[in-house]
């Protein structure tokens, strides 16, 4: 079953620290509306927080597009993080636990991938990065 969008996406710009907080709040609201369990809401909001921070710090800012989706059996929430930053040169390295170029813990990408059901990344050096994640209700 392919995923079908339910309604138009909510778009939140990521330009500052406070925007990362706004992304978390938007994702939480959408996850509650999609009837995700409390643990799944928590995992998705945490993943969104990591990825929004990456968009800000490494991508130099961008957007988060939050959409309620369904695949016929279950509902879910899809988030697309997009930036026009430098891109990621070595994806394998970027997904290694503990690897960081930004002074963080190096858990952002790898940790976020573990917390969601679907994870897709497109990145090109010099053009930017797009990360799409989806969390489904059980």
Partner 1 sequence: MERVPILKIGDILLVSIQVDMSDQTAIQLQEDLAERIVATGCHGVIIDITALDIVDSFVGRMLSTIASISKVLDAETVVVGMRPAVAITLVELGLSLNGIRTALNVERGMELVAATRADDWDALDGDDEDAETTATP
- Contact residues toward partner 1 (CB under 8 A) are 17-18, 20-21, 24-25, 28, 38-39, 41-43, 45-46, 49-50, 53, 97, 104-105, 107-108, 110-112, 114-115
Euclidean distance between CA atoms 137 and 70, whole angstroms: 9
Q: Which of 12, 135, 10 is nearest to 63 (CA)?
A: 12
CB of 79 to partner 1, least distance (A): 14
Query: Which of 23, 88 has the CB closer to partner 1?
Result: 23
Count of helices and strands (H, E) across the chain: 4, 5
What's the min distance (Å) between Cβ of 16 and partner 1? 8
Nearer to partner 1, 8 or 18 (CB): 18
Q: 96: which residues sit within 8 A by CB, 6+ positions away?
A: 106, 110
Length of the chain: 138
DSSP single-letter state for residue 97? T
The least CB distance from residue 28 to partner 1, in Å, is: 7
Shortest Å, Cβ 72 to partner 1: 27
């Amino acid at each position: 079953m392919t995923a079908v969008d339910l309604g138009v996406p909510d778009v939140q710009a990521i330009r500052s620290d406070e925007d990362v907080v706004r992304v978390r709040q938007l994702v939480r609201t959408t996850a509650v509306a999609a009837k995700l369990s409390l643990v799944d809401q928590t995992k998705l909001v945490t993943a969104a927080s990591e990825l929004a921070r990456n968009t800000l710090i490494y991508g130099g800012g961008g957007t988060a597009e939050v959409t309620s989706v369904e695949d016929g059996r279950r509902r879910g929430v899809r988030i697309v993080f997009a930036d026009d930053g430098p891109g990621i040169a070595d994806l394998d390295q970027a997904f290694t636990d503990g690897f960081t170029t930004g002074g963080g813990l190096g858990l952002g990408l790898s940790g976020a991938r573990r917390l969601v059901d679907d994870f897709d990344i497109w990145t090109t050096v010099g053009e930017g990065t797009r990360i799409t994640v989806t969390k489904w209700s059980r």
